[in-house]
Amino acid sequence: MHKQNRSRFFITMSALIGAILFAIYIHITNGTFDMSVKDIFTTLLRMNPTNDFDLVIFEFRLPRIVIAALVGLGLGIAGTVVQGITRNGLADPGILGINAGAGASIVIFMFFFQMELAVSGSSNWLSIIIMPIFGFLGGLIAAILIYIFSWTNGKLDTQRLILSGIAISTGFGALSLYISLKMRESDFEMATVWMSGSIYNANWIFILAMIPWLLILVPIIYRKAYLLDYFQLEESSIKSLGIQVEKEKAILLLSSIGVISACVSVSGSIGFIGLIAPHIAKQLVGIHHRYVLPASAAIGMFLVIFSDYLAKTIFAPAEIPVGIIVAILGVPYFLYLLMKTKA
């Protein structure tokens, strides 16, 4: 049985990697400036570089693809952890308000501090590096509020969790909108697009800002993947195994908030990835989280890369935020899950 699950996992991951490579291929070759595979390889291998190809690949498309992949990976993993901790298949960083809390904190940072950094002559990379920290604080505040309102009779009420998350998400969303309305016209436009979920302005500094968070926190989450399996049991049964339930939940939740904050700081609030990816992963590789986590990460990568490709091509040369495309894909699936849960 173990060998069968492992074979199923490797077959699924091979298929998902193929899907990711296909999404990268159509993303990097298509756009306002179409390129052939030969053009891409000769540019990447520096065989016959030209300024036009260098600009399109290294300054526009490649950073965008890498950001999309990292954001999809992070949100897929974070969604799996949140669903595992809460034992609720409808839980999601976006629905629970963690995305909104991180986003509101970053909008406040953009309004109060980013202008001061620019005026003082500090380089732009400093503000980009600091933004995930503000996002982490906002996400942490949202998570604490969710726990406070959902904690009843010494345990977490999963039904109250969803309702509290929706209320907190709405509140932080309203705060973000209020702060953005106080911005200058140009800053307001930038903040509005960012809040919708957008990676069109991706660059290598954003990537460098994200990578340390992912390199540190994703391995921590994966090392504790087995705990997510135990968390599906009754809490008394888990404690009888000698597991410090609240401590381990806190470590996993804080790690997830850090991952979400790093994603939100560079892409804005992209919802539904953390909801969809874990469900699809469980259907493909089973319920063991050491298999679900990497599968969910790969599914998230594919969804964001492919959605970003659609976002830049559907109304070309105009673009729409990738968060809108993901929402169009995610809302029907969310309704399907609601009907399935009701049944």
Give the tens place of pLDDT for each residue, 137-146: 888 888 888 8
Indicate the pTM of the whole model: 0.88
| Share above pLDDT 90 across residues of the chain, in percent, rounded to a whole number | 25
| Residue 19 binned pLDDT confidence (cut-offs 50, 70, 90) | very high
- Check residue 75 and give its pLDDT: 94
Query: Rounded mean pLDDT of 70-88?
Result: 91
Query: Rounded mean pLDDT of 71-99?
Result: 87
- Check residue 125 and give its pLDDT: 65
Is residue 32 classed as helix, strand or coil in its secondary structure?
coil
pLDDT digits (tens, 9 = 90+) for 92-138: 887 778 888 888 888 888 887 765 544 444 446 666 677 778 888 88
List, as one string, the DSSP characters of 270-296.
Answer: --SHHHHHHHHHHHHH-S-HHHHHHHH
Q: And the tokens for 323?
A: 């968060």
Phi, psi of 335 (to 5 degrees): -65, -40
Q: Report the alpha-carbon distance of residue 126 to residue 261 in Å, rounded.
A: 17
Output the average pLDDT for the chain.
Answer: 83
Residue 134 CB partners (closer than 8 Å, separation 6+): 105, 106, 108, 109, 265
Interhelix angle 245-267/124-150, rounded to 10 degrees, is 140
Highest mean pLDDT among 10-14, 60-64, 109-113, 241-245: 10-14
Q: Report the alpha-carbon distance of residue 295 to residue 289 in Å, rounded.
A: 9
* Beta-strand runs (E) in the chain: 151-152, 155-156
CATH of domain 2-342: 1.10.3470.10
**Do residues 100 and 164 lie in contact, with contact meaning Cβ atoms separated by under 8 Å?**
no
What is the residue extent of each domain of the chain? 2-342
Phi, psi of 151 (to 5 degrees): -85, 115
Q: Is the pLDDT of residue 196 over 80?
A: no
- Check residue 122 and give its pLDDT: 46
- Check residue 179 and give its pLDDT: 87
Q: How many CA atoms lie within 13 A of 135 on its CB side?
A: 29
- Check residue 205 and give its pLDDT: 84
Q: List helix spans (H) across 151-203.
A: 158-181, 185-195
